[in-house]
Amino acid sequence: MMRILMIDDDRKLCRLVADYLEPMGYALDAAHNGPDGLRLFQKGEYQAVILDVMLPQMDGFAVLKELRRESDIPVLMLTARGEETDRIVGLEMGADDYLPKTFSSRELLARLRAVTRRCQLTESRSSAEAAAEQTLRFAELEIEQASRTVRLHGELLTLTPLEYDLLAALANAAGRVLSRDRLLEAVSGRNYDVFDRSIDVHISSLRRKLGDNPREPRFIQTVRTAGYMFIAPPL
């Protein structure tokens, strides 16, 4: 069940909302003032907060400010007054939506589903973007850094761990020459039995697997007396 925290001093309303939401797949915890609500929030794993503006000890805006210091959790604010100023202030402070306390149960459920859905979509998009940043693409070559896999024309290549690390180091520095010493640094700390000139042997093996001709390279170019450079521009 999706866990919701409701911070509202109207105990009867909290019970009514809990009773309505439970069959819909929501488990609701309630706090009846701001400090108690923040303490509950810090102890639990919640997917959304329903927050009243008019609270004893600490108003809803102050609670919202504290919540936003710690979390991007969806916050649906409630107000008895329904004034436009309150709505504007709350939204500018980071509330995701607003409802007057004359709301119907169906409207509350619809708004709650909307704010949690937006949050889930944002999280999914962020995860996808982060994964994309971990994937290097060069024409028909894809280097998935999170899984340490390489595909050429969609086919998975079988690389040794050292070959993969050399390729990743070169690809992340595309357009820049990396000396043998710099490549040795890039693969250091992995207990590889590798030294200066053995880099050439591993690069040669890597080229064969990439189908790369040293005389007319598509990916790895030898720069005489300097080292190697990855020449394919990223997509």
**Residue in the structure block whose two tokens are 């250091």:** 188
φ/ψ (deg, to 5) at 92: -70, -25
CA 10, 14, 17 angle in degrees (round to 5)? 135
Q: Does domain 2-128 have CATH number 3.10.129.10?
A: no
CB 49 within 8 A of CB 99: no
Q: What is the mean pLDDT of residues 48-56?
A: 93
Identify the three-state secondary structure at position 195. Answer: coil
CA distance 139 to 216: 16
Hey, do 2-128 and 135-230 end up sharing a CATH topology, with the first three levels equal?
Answer: no
CA distance 229 to 75: 50
Query: pLDDT band at 188, cuts 50/70/90?
Result: low
**CATH architecture assigned to 135-230:** Orthogonal Bundle (1.10)
Q: Calculate the alpha carbon distances from 51 to 14, 21, 75, 97 in Å.
A: 11, 16, 7, 10
Most confident of 37-41, 99-103, 143-147: 37-41
Per-residue pLDDT tens for 109-145?
998 988 888 766 655 554 545 544 588 999 899 999 8
Per-residue pLDDT tens for 65-93?
999 988 889 999 998 765 677 777 788 88
pLDDT at residue number 131: 46
Domain residues of the chain, as ranges?
A: 2-128, 135-230
pLDDT at residue number 60: 93
**Residue in the structure block whose two tokens are 């591993």:** 202
pLDDT at residue number 115: 85
Identify the three-state secondary structure at position 46. Answer: coil
pTM metric for this prediction: 0.54
pLDDT at residue number 128: 46
CA distance 129 to 135: 10
pLDDT at residue number 228: 94
Question: Among 120, 77, 199, 183, which residue's Cα sits nearest to residue 207?
Answer: 199
Helix axes 198-210, 161-172, angle to 10 degrees: 80
